[in-house]
Amino acid sequence: MITYDVEAAGVFVHEWRALGEARRAAILERRDAYEQRFRRLVEDGIATGEFAMTDPALAATVILSTLNGIPTWYRPDGRLTPDRVADHFVDFVMRMLMGADR
């Protein structure tokens, strides 16, 4: 999704701090809920043995930080399509979560 509108994604990732107090609080609430969903997915993967032991909060932060960095480097006219970027990111994240021995 980020690669389809890089400029909007960049504004969302970086400019939320400039919002008024009430709107910023609403955005932060949504962000925290989104991050919690990632934490739960990692926790579930650890519980089922799919993922290596790791800290779910830190894993969620790494994943989301990686995704939030896309607007700083991705170019629609670059060598990778949005689907290829997604494929690579899924591969990177799954390797990170599954551990080196898999």
Pick 3 or 61 by higher pLDDT: 61
How do residues 37-96 score in pLDDT, each as one tens digit? 999 999 999 999 999 978 999 999 999 988 888 888 888 899 999 899 989 999 999 999
The pLDDT value recorded for residue 87 is 94
Query: The domain at 2-98 falls in which architecture?
Result: Orthogonal Bundle (1.10)
Cα 94 to Cα 42: distance, rounded to the nearest angstrom: 10
18 secondary structure, DSSP code: G
Banded model confidence at residue 102, pLDDT cuts 50, 70, 90: low
3-state SS assignment for residue 10: helix
Domain limits, the chain: 2-98
The pLDDT value recorded for residue 13 is 67
